[in-house]
Amino acid sequence: MNMVSGHCERIIVTGLLNIGSLFSYIVRYHISNRVCIVNRIVQSKSRSLRRSQVIKRLRESNNLPVFPEILHRLESMLADTKRVNVNKVAELIESEPVIAGRVIKLANSAYYGGGRRTLESIPLAVNRLGFQTLRTLVYSCVLPEMFQTVGGFDHLQFWRHSLTVGLLSRDLMTRSIERTLKTIDHAYLAGLMHGIGVLVFETLVPHEYSSTLEVAKESSRLLVDVEREMFGIDHTELGALLLESEWSMDESIVDAVRHQLNPPNPHPPHNVRETVFVANAVCLVYGVSNGTGMNYSSLHLEYLAHLGKLNYDKESVERLLELAKNEVSTIEDFLAIK
């Protein structure tokens, strides 16, 4: 009996110990789970706080540029191309001597002059270049000078990429069956300014953003993911906020910048957002980097593999890209970047 009793006691004790261990495990699990939940809540609130602080800086910063008057006036003049007054446009260009000099120089370049007689008149130079090229040159002169540079990335390559995306977006939209003069212009502007949120970050939080770029490069993570983790907002949304709330850009341009990394619907990209997505993807896949060294989603490669479904063939897109790159190379000397 004593042996049986002792055996039973050992079983009971062992059972109690197991129950105790199980209870302890359950307690630890729930505590750990609660800690994880609390941490996630804290992190979420922290991201929300950082996000609100960044947006507040955007709204209150004196370092962010307003949309330049010359660009505003140029856009107003070119809004209705059927009624554009060349002399008025020329007067606007002449009011900015640096830009005027670059317009004359570009009009007399081998690419645009083609051995024709040398021009010294701004109206004649405007006629030779055409309004699209004139707009490209003016934006290339003005935009890079608007933002302070800290040196966290290659700004020349950034603007080279931006300009190439803008020109390719314009050319893709020009070939769309639903093209209009308005959508062509908006595609160019959205492509040109699709990365402007990077410059906004660099202006608002220069040192923190330099670290963010380093983390993205060293970890091979998407830049937008690291930005959201660090600031609660990424450069696509921040750029869209600048264009929408501070620069009062057209809704289609803001939409294209905000959703530039979202894959379009599986049909020909007729709207501005889809056109900019394709142009940016083509540039990144074919090596026209944006100078930040950032990673990009494999969706670009997957999407470009189905260009045929979008009524684009690979050869046509490659030709358009080469044309855009050649145009960028021609005007690169006029980019106001040191």
Tell me phi and psi for residue 260, to 5 degrees.
Answer: -65, -20
User: Can you give the residue ranges of every domain in the chain?
Assistant: 1-50, 63-142, 147-338
Within 10 A of 175 (CB to CB), how many other CB atoms are there?
14
Q: Are 256 and 273 in contact (CB under 8 A)?
A: yes
Predicted TM-score of the model (pTM):
0.81
67-74 CB contacts, 8 Å cutoff, 24+ apart: 67/246, 67/247, 67/248, 68/142, 68/146, 70/95, 70/96, 70/99, 70/138, 70/142, 71/138, 71/139, 71/142, 74/135, 74/138
| For residues 20-28, average pLDDT | 52
Q: Which CATH class is domain 147-338?
A: mainly alpha
Interval 157-166: pLDDT, tens: 999 999 999 9
Tokens of 315: 């050869």
| For residues 281-298, average pLDDT | 81
CA distance 185 to 245: 20
CA distance 157 to 81: 31
pLDDT for res 41? 34
Tokens of 131: 């309004």
Interval 119-142: pLDDT, tens: 999 999 999 999 999 999 999 889
**Which of 39-53, 102-116, 216-230 is predicted with the least confidence, judged by mean pLDDT?**
39-53
What is the residue type of 86? V
pLDDT for res 147? 84
**Which of 36-45, 285-294, 301-310 is predicted with the least confidence, judged by mean pLDDT?**
36-45
Measured at the CA of 191, the angle between CA 61 and CA 244, to 5 degrees, comes to 35
CA distance 98 to 112: 19
Provide Rg for the chain, Cα atoms: 28
Burial environment of residue 219 by CB neighbours within 10 A (0 to 12, 13 to 18, 19 or more) = exposed
If you average pLDDT over every residue of the chain, what do you get?
A: 81
Beta pairing partners, 295 = 222
Interval 154-208: pLDDT, tens: 888 999 999 999 999 999 999 887 788 889 999 999 999 999 999 999 999 998 9
Residue with tokens 């944006």: 290
Q: How far, rounded to the nearest angstrom, does the alpha carbon of residue 39 sit from its chain's CA centroid?
A: 31
Q: Which of 152, 239, 238 is nearest to 196 (CA)?
A: 239
pLDDT for res 233? 95
* CA-CA-CA-CA torsion sign (238, 242, 248, 253): negative
Give the range with max mean pLDDT: 47-51, 90-94, 149-153. 90-94
Tokens of 316: 């046509």
Sequence-ordered alpha helix ranges (H) in the chain: 2-60, 69-78, 86-94, 97-107, 110-113, 122-129, 131-146, 155-174, 181-192, 196-204, 206-219, 223-231, 235-241, 251-258, 272-285, 299-304, 314-331
| For residues 40-50, average pLDDT | 51
Measured CA distances, 175 to 169, 226, 292, 329 (Å): 10, 36, 30, 23
Tokens of 199: 């410059």
